[in-house]
Chain A
Amino acid sequence: MTANRISGLLVALCGLLLWLVVIPANTETVGSGWIRPDTLPQACAVALIGLGLIQSLPRGRSLEPTGAEVLRAGLFAALAFLAVWAMTVAGFRLAAPAFALALMLLVGERRPGWLAVGAVGVPAAIWLTAVPLLDRTLP
C-alpha cells in the first residue's frame, strides 16, 4: 500500500474520530441559529472523511517519505519538546545554550569555533535583543 493511500486512510480515520467523539465532546449544544458551534467543525470532519477515502483509492504516483529522514526529524522534534520542558524548569539562559549545543552535535558539527558561536553567541544575542533592547521577557 502506498504512502498516498495510507495517509488518505489516516485522514479519514481522524475525520471519523473528530466527527463521532472529539467534536461532540468538546462543543456546546445550542438550539438556535443557522450556524451552531459544531456546524463548521462537523462539516470539516465530514469533508476529511470523504476526501480521505477518495485519497485512499489506488491511483498513480505517490510521494514516499524515507524512513531514516522521518526518524531523524522525529529526533529533532523530540529534542525541541525536551527544550521547552527544560525552559520551564531552568529558564532560557540555561536551557537555550544546552539545546543549541545538543542540536549542533547531533547534526554532526564538531568545529569548536562554530559550536561556541551557536551555543553561546546566538542565545546571548537573542537574550540581549529580547530582554534589554525590546524590554520583553523570556522564560
Chain B
Amino acid sequence: MDFPTILAGLGDAFTLTNLLFVVAGVAVGQFVGALPGIGPVMAIAIAIPFTFVLDPLPAIAFLVGVMKGGLFGGAIPAILINTPGTPDAAATALDGHPLARQGKPAKATKIALYASVTGDTFSDLVLITVSAPLAVLALKLGPVEICALIVFAFSVMAGLVGESMVKGLIAAAFGLLCATVGLDPEHGTPRLYFGYFELFDGLPLTAVAIGTLAVAEIFRRLAAVGGDVRSTIVTDRAGDPADRRVSRAEYWQCRFTMLRGALIGTVLGAIPGIGSTAAAFMSYASAQQASSEPESFGTGNIHGVAATESANSAVMGANLIPLLAVGIPGSVSAALLISAFKIHGIQPGPLMFEQQGRLVYGLFGAMLMANAMNLAVGQASLRFWSRVVAAPESVIFAAALLLCFAGVYMATGGLFGVTVMLIFAVIGYAMTAFGYPVVVFVIAFFLGEQFERSLSQTLVILNGEPAALLGHPVAVALLALSLVTAWWLGWHRRQTRADDTDVG
C-alpha cells in the first residue's frame, strides 16, 4: 500500500459530510443502545437498507458510527435500570448499577463511556496496523488454503458459540444449505428456488440477516413483555459534583484495567465467533483478580465498569481484522458490514487493500472519527439517554418491526423479501428457543457461496487426489487445527457440563 493512497483515503474520510454521517450514526447507535432490547446488531441490521442511497464511504461511516455508539449505549440501561441493552453489557451492570444506586449514575455512565472509547481506539489502532500486512499474507493463499481456512473458522465458531458443538455444527450446516439457494456457482443452473424467480440470486442477505437477528429477537422480547413501566435512576444535577464526573486521577487509576480489557477484547475479537460478551466477563474476572480489593467488585467499583466496557468495545475493531484480511467475518456485526459492503459493490477480503485501498483507509479514518464523536456525543447526551431508557417496550418494538418491514422492502424491492424475512424470523426464533446458535447460522450463510466456490476450485486443483493435499502444507495445517480445535472444544464442553452436574 503506497503512502499517497493512505493519505487520500484518510482525506476522503475527514470531510464535513462524513463527519455528519458519523455523528448521526453514533447518535442513532447510542439512542438504540440505550433502549433495552435493541442492541447495535439489531440497529445495524435495520439501518443497512437505509444507507443504499448513500455513497459507499458515508454509508459505511454511518454504520460504523451506529456500531460504536451502540456498544456504549448498551451500558446505559445496564447501569441505570440493571437491564443490559446488549448481552455484553450484563457484565457492566455488575458494578455499574450498584454505583448508580449509590447516587453516582453519572460517574458510572461516564467511566463506561471513557473506557468504551479507550478500548475501541486501542483495537482500531491494532486493526489499522495489522490488517494490511495480514492481507498481504492472505493474498498468498490459494483456493485450497481459503477452503481450509473457512473450515477452520466453522470449527472454531461451532465450538465456541452456543451451548453445544453439535448444535453449532447443525446451525453451520443449515446456514450453508440456505446459501446454496439460487444459481450454483459452477454450472449456473438454478436450484432450490421452488418456482420463485426472485430466488435465482439466492436468498436476500438483508432479509435473512434482519429476520434471524432482529425480527426473531423482537418476537422473543414481545412474548416476554409484561406491559409494565420501568423505573430508572435519573442522572440529575443534585448532589456532590465529584459523584457526577470522572476525575483525571480516577481515569488514570483505571489505565491498567482498561489496557488489560482492551488487550483481551482485541485478542478475542480477532478470533471469529467469540464475541464481546466473553471478552467483557473475562476482562471483569481478570480485573478482579488483579485488584488489591477484589471484594469491592460487585458493590460499585469503577474498575469493574472500566474493565468490561474497554473489553467489549475493543472487540468491535478487532472483529474487522479477519474480515479485511481474509474476508471472514469475526462476528455478526462484521457479517452485516459485509452485506453493506456488497450492496455498495465492494468485495471484502485481502483484495480490498489492492483494489479499494483508498476506501479501506477511508473506513479507518471514519472509525477513528467515530471514536472521537462517540466521546463527544456521549458527553453531551448522557442525560437525554437516561430518559430514553424509560421508553415503553411496546412502542420501541412496534417501531423496530415497522423499520424492519420498510428497510427490507427497500432492500429487496418488494414484499417477497419481507415474507422471506418473516420466515427466517420464525426459524431464528425456533433456533434460539432450542439453543441453536443463530450467529453461527448467519456467518455460515454469509460464507456459503465463497465456501462452495473455493471447494470447487480446490477439487479441480487437487484433481480428486487426496494425496495432492500434501502439496499445500498451510491447508493441511489448518485442517489439522480444525480437527484439534473441534476435539478440544468438544472435550472442554463435556468437562464443563460434568463439573456443572457435580456441583448441581
Contact = CB atoms under 8 A, between A and B. Distances in A.
Given A28-B191, A136-B53, A84 B419 contact: yes
A122 interface: yes
A72 B399 CA distance: 19
B357 interface: no
In this complex, the member of A11, A76, A83, A117 whose beta carbon has the largest number of chain B beta carbons within 10 angstroms is A76
A103 interface: yes
Interface string A100-114: 100110011111001
Nearest to A81: B422
A-side interface mostly = helix
Contacts of B193: 26
B422 A103 contact: no
Contact of B227 (A73, A84, A107, A138): A107
Contacts of A96: 402, 405
A107 B415 contact: no
Interface in A15-35: 18, 22-23, 26-28, 30, 33-35
Most buried by B among A44, A54, A61: A44
B177 A4 contact: no
A94 interface: no
A103 B173 CA distance: 34
B398 to A, nearest CB: 4
Contacts of A83: 405
A73 B497 CA distance: 30
B497 A61 contact: yes
Interface in A68-121: 69-70, 72-73, 76-77, 80-81, 83-84, 87-88, 92, 96, 99-100, 103-104, 107-111, 114, 117-119
A33 B187 contact: yes
B223 A72 contact: yes
Please tell me the size bucket of the interface on B.
Answer: 35 or more
A88 B415 contact: yes
B53 A134 contact: yes
Nearest to A65: B433
Nearest to B220: A73
Q: Majority SS of interface residues in chain B? A: helix
B297 interface: no
B501 A60 contact: yes
Given A26-B192, A27-B192, A51-B166, A107 B222 contact: yes
Contact of A34 (B50, B220, B406, B456): B456
Nearest to B416: A84
Contact of A73 (B166, B226, B429): B429
A61 B167 CA distance: 14
A37 to B, nearest CB: 4
A23 to B, nearest CB: 7
Nearest to A134: B53
A35 B422 contact: no
B167 A55 contact: yes
Given A33-B186, A122-B395, A44 B426 contact: no
22 contacts: A4-B435, A18-B177, A33-B186, A35-B456, A35-B459, A37-B187, A41-B180, A60-B501, A76-B219, A76-B223, A100-B402, A103-B394, A103-B397, A103-B398, A104-B394, A107-B222, A111-B392, A114-B394, A130-B50, A134-B53, A135-B53, A136-B52
Q: Can you list the 9 inter-chain pairs with the closest CB atoms, starting with the nearest? A: A108-B227, A34-B459, A109-B394, A44-B177, A72-B223, A65-B433, A63-B435, A73-B223, A47-B173
